[in-house]
Structure 1
Amino acid sequence: MKITVLEPLGVEKEKLEEIARPLIEKGHTLEIFEEKSTDIEELKRRVKDTNILVIANSPLKGEVIKAASDLEMISVAFTGVDHVDLDIAKENDILVSNAAGYSTPAVVELTFGLMIGILRNVVPLHKVTREGGTMEGFRQRELHGRTLGILGTGDIGGDVAKVAIAFGMKVIAFNRSENEELKNLGVEYMSMEDVFKTSDIVTIHLPLNDKTRGIVDQRYLNMLKKDAILINAARGPIIDNNALAKALNEEKISGSGIDVFDMEPPIPSDYPLLNAKNTVLTPHIAYASEEAMVRRAGIVFKNIEKFLEGNPQNVII
């Protein structure tokens, strides 16, 4: 079998080859492309004779999948797979797996980093301190005692809840199903409307799909307290980001921490959130710790091993 890594996975080539060693020793071949490409014809060339394709978060269009006539599996080095044309993959009997769980610690940590960055005004005070200024005029607020609303209590949202409790926060949540372990820890489930109305901070940990796209719209933003903060380290299009920028600039909410957008960075200069008040922005880094990249590569190649053994894991379709 030929295995093609279509784009960089955030791990050095030598380390990647080490992780893939069990497959190589069984006679499978490994081709690694160390530069991303957005050129459709170049991508078609790269995949044309591969049997197993590894991608990260770059879009994989149907026409590229169709060009890989011998393709049997796509091992996605990411949790979400909304960037893959799943209809074409299914149509061509191609199994798609993901790397669920690899980034959980990294995303949880950045989520709280964004919260603290806003509450303690870390970013503006960094600049002020370098310019010889003081904290005068800047608020300093604590996580302790605040109510955190979590949208989505899967692995990441669930761990966010546990950390929040350790910080001394009250935790409320919205999810399709209720997690009994979290309820036993004191998490209270309620409607999405009540989460927005009650929370001091709302953090999003939902998947992106047809039901969640644009779900956090102006109506929900209007439910937030004026002193509330919104965090998104999940998927950008879950929020109506134009409405969010408007709410921030009109000071209808207190601040926002955003790691994901309606597109992958670099972000166009006219994108509204770039000029929104009291907003900490990061260029989609929540998942990207060094440790998470190694975990991710391990899962990706373990998925391939399991597929070749006839016992696939982390299967999406």
Structure 2
Amino acid sequence: MMKISIVEPLGVAKEKIMQIAAEKLGSQAEVIYYDTAPAGTGEVVARSEDADIVVLANMPYRREIIEKCSKLKMLSVAFTGVDHIDMSYCQERKIMVCNCAGYSNEAVSELVFSLVLGLYRRIIACHNAVKQGKTREGLIGLELSGKKFGIVGTGAIGLKVAALAKAFGCEIFAYSRTKKADAGVQYVDLDTLMAVCDIVSLHVPLTSGTKGLINAEKLALMKPNAILINTARGPVVDSEALAAVLKQGKIAGAALDVFEQEPPIPASHPLLQVSNVILAPHIGFATEEALEKRAIIAFENVRQWLAGTPQNVI
């Protein structure tokens, strides 16, 4: 019998996880769920070393762990991105890696508009004004209707954002490595998008080609009243350059849910030193519905792999 180790919490009650596992796998595997975070690399190894299959979310899973897991045959990653996985070593070891693409499409795309509206309607400043006994004076906001909305990356989440932006009455521009013929967006080059859009929302994976994609040069193209939203991956944006243009008032604001590392971020982080930002601790995927959905996909990945018909293969 295969042994499955869920090496970190998945944000779903243990009873629900075990129910999903039983429904998907029956008696094909023994499932162990660790519903507390591991204390360090040694504990991750201890939870993994006897497993044939490991299920994890966004915890770093590097060679120094994998090489101690001689039985490991499959990783079911309860996440969309896999930049925290040592993919080259998994390929060397012929370890199957599957992700949970699509589980957070709704959650992330809805967060984008929470952040946009938070900036446009100055929600944090409004909250503080009420607490301080002040009025709405100086808190005039903006409407989304009629704004030029730029989407960088038209994968599933980018297209969902486009659909929501259309519902708000925005004009949609997009830049993407792969263009979708039926996307209903106006594709332009990245420089044009950065220059003409009032809102720029990032939806690209982290690759060697996208790291630092939004740098000082690209930020300098943005309009003074434009805002930047990043719910993709932190290193896609040069944080130092973004902090600089925000401090100088060269763009109106930014909202980010992702950083160069998982929060907590260091007190010295440049974006903590500016006022016209909204910062969230990587909550884009974190809704009750999305977390249950990804658990279902993670075990369906295992079921399909055991059946010889793997899905969501990276």
Whether these two folds match at TM > 0.5 is yes
Q: Does 1:294 align with 2:292?
A: yes
Look up the match of 2:44: 43
Look up the match of 2:279: 281
What whole-Å deviation, never above 9, does each CA across 1:11-32 have from its counterpart, x for those lacking one?
0100000110135532410111
Counterpart code for 1:19: I
Distance 1:190 1:141 in 2: 25
Distance 1:199 1:132 in 2: 36
Distance 2:180 2:259 in 1: 28
Backbone CA RMSD of aligned residues: 0.9
Counterpart code for 1:35: T
Alignment of 1:197-208 (within 5 A): 197-208=195-206
Alignment of 1:226-265 (within 5 A): 226-265=224-263
Alpha-carbon distance, 1:46 to partner: 1.2
Look up the match of 2:81: 80
The counterpart of 1:305, out of the listed 274, 279, 303, is 303
What runs of 5+ residues in structure 2 fail to find an aligned partner? none
Distance 2:274 2:34 in 1: 37
Look up the match of 1:271: 269
Look up the match of 1:192: 190
Contact 2:25 2:303 in 1 (8 A): no
Look up the match of 1:163: 164
Distance 2:25 2:219 in 1: 51
Distance 1:128 1:85 in 2: 47
Alignment of 1:95-174 (within 5 A): 95-174=96-175
Counterpart code for 2:12: V
Contact 1:265 1:283 in 2 (8 A): yes
Alpha-carbon distance, 1:277 to partner: 2.4
What whole-Å deviation, never above 9, does each CA across 1:230-281 have from its counterpart, x for those lacking one?
0000100000011101111111100001100111011111111112121011
Counterpart code for 1:90: Q
Distance 1:45 1:74 in 2: 16
Look up the match of 1:33: 34
Counterpart code for 2:245: A
Distance 1:182 1:315 in 2: 25
What whole-Å deviation, never above 9, does each CA across 1:145-165 have from its counterpart, x for those lacking one?
000000001100001001111
SS, match of residue 231 in structure 1 = strand
TM-score by length of 1: 0.97
What runs of 5+ residues in structure 1 fail to find an aligned partner? none
Alpha-carbon distance, 1:37 to partner: 2.0
Distance 1:25 1:160 in 2: 37
Pick which of 127-136 and 157-166 moved more.
127-136
SS, match of residue 141 in structure 1 = coil
SS, match of residue 182 in structure 2 = helix
Q: Does 1:220 align with 2:225?
A: no
What whole-Å deviation, never above 9, does each CA across 1:158-188 have from its counterpart, x for those lacking one?
01001111100000000112212223xxx10
Alpha-carbon distance, 1:36 to partner: 1.6
Contact 2:77 2:97 in 1 (8 A): yes
Pick which of 60-69 and 303-312 moved more.
60-69
Pick which of 267-276 and 93-102 moved more.
267-276
Look up the match of 2:180: 179
Counterpart code for 1:22: E
Contact 1:73 1:94 in 2 (8 A): yes
Distance 1:149 1:38 in 2: 41
The runs of 4+ residues in structure 1 deviating greater than 4 Å are none
Counterpart code for 2:294: R
Distance 2:26 2:154 in 1: 40
Alpha-carbon distance, 1:35 to partner: 1.5
